[in-house]
């Protein structure tokens, strides 16, 4: 089947389609009913089939759109199909969307409130809008229609997905991240998930206004980042870990050389001296794969002042800890975990995944001496992203790493507040000249820039 085409039930008989369309009121301006939608879908299917053989895929989008408009007019005139101007415009819009866009997802991709699009098969599309998951009334024509959109997105990202390689994770042209999985691995049909990121870069001030942070917390983490403390951002899925990493990176001095390493590039740093590295999956022959761990090892030879790893998922955790301990202070990463203690346990497990037979005590001692802070994120019941805690990683006691909360989420205000405990790394802030602004005698970290 052509990349443009998608099937419809029972195909499309030209005479029958013409007869049924003629029964519609060609001048009606009301939204189309179910019958009208069905007829438009059949006509759209015919146009897509013709487009697959008559319109080259390599054409620029604007020229292809013009050719599609001409093709729609040609089919309507040759088959003497009666459609109103409103129906014609609707058909053209849908066909253009199916061939150069994302089909029914186009309107969601332009909605700034939508942060996640989840297609659980062709007939079920959910979105996360303003922090809440809701089902839409949108749907693809059929499974082949959804597959054609998935294939188009994967090709545009230089990736491939088919029966022999039924999973793909890629970065889209607008910076969104897509993940798709096909049957037989997905029992509900093709599943497409798109994580969207705001075009407007979030600032610390905007997150304070949203209630996620407070100026007190912002001032504290500003001082910690500028003093080159090593920070881990922890949280569950869609809790804002990447956003937090972007915010933390804004406090890094413009004169520093920063290297970011990610599976799919999502970070957007404002500094002028930034090198972005992205892992690469294997090609169609199963070769050419480059892992985050390999990129991290190579990045150490690139004279970085800071290393920022989008997410630790495996053995690269050991190399990250080694880098933090060998002159690359101020590094940052994210992990999936539900609490600061869980984050440390997960890092411990990932270090063991590196394949070395290391004693657990040695791993924990290294983590307790290298990692300074864990920023724990969560989602409130109303969908808001919140800071659950900001915890300091302290020393070892017996075989346990001690952790103390410096900030915790306050249920009354819904914002993070200080616990009043003094950070053990306070001398590091003083030595860097960026003492905690809320500490008696401390200086405003922004005042010493």
β-pair type (231-235, 191-195): unpaired
pLDDT tens digits for range 167-196: 998 888 888 889 999 999 998 899 999 998
Which is more confident, 315 or 97? 315
> What is the model's pLDDT at position 1?
40
pLDDT tens digits for range 249-303: 999 999 999 999 998 788 888 899 999 999 888 776 778 889 999 999 899 999 9
Give the residue among 61, 267, 294 at the shortest CA–CA distance from 177: 267
- Radius of gyration from C-alpha coordinates of the chain: 27
3-state class of 270 per DSSP? coil
pLDDT tens digits for range 355-395: 888 899 999 999 999 999 999 999 988 888 999 999 999 98
Mean pLDDT of the 114-132 span: 91
Query: Please, is 441 exposed, middle or buried when counting C-beta atoms within 10 Å of its C-beta (0-12, 13-18, 19+)?
Result: exposed
Mean pLDDT, rounded, of the chain: 82
Q: How far is CA 28 from CA 25, 34, 80, 325, 341, in A?
A: 5, 14, 18, 72, 63
Cα–Cα distance, 60 to 359 (Å, whole number): 58
Provide the whole-model pTM: 0.77
Q: Which residues contact 205 (CB under 8 A, 6 or more apart)?
A: none
Residue 232 has pLDDT above 80, yes or no: yes
Angle between helix axes 34-54 and 61-78 (nearest 10 degrees) is 120
Instruction: Work out whether the CA dihedral 172, 146, 111, 40 comes out positive or negative.
Output: positive
Least confident of 155-169, 283-297, 425-439: 425-439
């Amino acid at each position: 089947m052509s990349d443009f085409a998608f099937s419809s039930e029972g195909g499309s008989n030209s005479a029958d389609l013409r007869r049924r369309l003629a029964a519609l009121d060609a001048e009606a301006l009301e939204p189309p009913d179910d019958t009208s939608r069905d007829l438009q879908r059949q006509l759209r299917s015919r146009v897509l089939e013709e487009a697959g053989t008559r319109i080259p895929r390599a054409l620029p989008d604007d020229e292809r759109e013009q050719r599609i408009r001409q093709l729609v007019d040609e089919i309507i005139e040759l088959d003497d199909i009666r459609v109103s101007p409103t129906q014609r415009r609707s058909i053209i819009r849908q066909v253009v969307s199916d061939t150069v866009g994302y089909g029914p997802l186009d309107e969601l991709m332009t909605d700034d409130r939508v942060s996640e699009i989840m297609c659980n098969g062709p007939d079920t599309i959910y979105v996360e809008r303003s922090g809440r998951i809701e089902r839409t009334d949108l749907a693809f024509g059929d499974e082949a229609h959804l597959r054609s959109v998935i294939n188009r997105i994967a090709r545009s990202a230089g990736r491939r997905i088919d029966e022999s390689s039924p999973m793909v994770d890629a970065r889209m042209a607008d910076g969104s991240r897509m993940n798709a999985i096909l049957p037989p691995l997905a029992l509900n049909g093709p599943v497409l998930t798109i994580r969207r990121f705001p075009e407007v870069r979030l600032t610390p001030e905007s997150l304070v206004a949203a209630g996620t942070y407070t100026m007190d917390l912002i001032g504290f983490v500003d001082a910690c980042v500028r003093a080159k403390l090593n920070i881990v951002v922890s949280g569950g899925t869609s809790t804002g870990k990447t956003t937090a990493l972007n915010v933390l990176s804004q406090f890094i001095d413009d004169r520093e050389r920063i290297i970011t390493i990610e599976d799919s590039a999502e970070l957007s740093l404002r500094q002028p001296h930034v090198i972005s590295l992205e892992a690469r999956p294997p090609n169609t022959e199963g070769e050419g794969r480059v892992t985050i761990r390999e990129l991290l090892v190579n990045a150490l030879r690139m004279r970085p002042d800071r290393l920022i790893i989008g997410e630790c998922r495996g053995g690269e955790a050991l190399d990250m800890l080694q880098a933090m301990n060998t002159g690359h202070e101020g590094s940052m990463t994210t992990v999936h975990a539900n609490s600061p203690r869980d984050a440390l346990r997960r890092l411990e497990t990932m270090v063991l995944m590196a394949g070395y037979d290391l004693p657990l005590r040695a791993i924990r001692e290294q983590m307790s001496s290298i990692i300074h802070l864990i920023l724990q994120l969560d989602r409130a019941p109303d969908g808001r992203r919140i800071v659950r805690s900001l915890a300091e990683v302290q020393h070892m006691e017996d075989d346990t790493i001690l952790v103390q909360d410096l900030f915790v989420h306050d249920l009354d205000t819904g914002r993070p507040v200080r616990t009043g405990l003094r950070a053990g790394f306070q001398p590091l802030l003083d030595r860097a000249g960026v003492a905690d602004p809320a500490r008696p005698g401390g200086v405003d970290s922004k005042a010493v820039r």
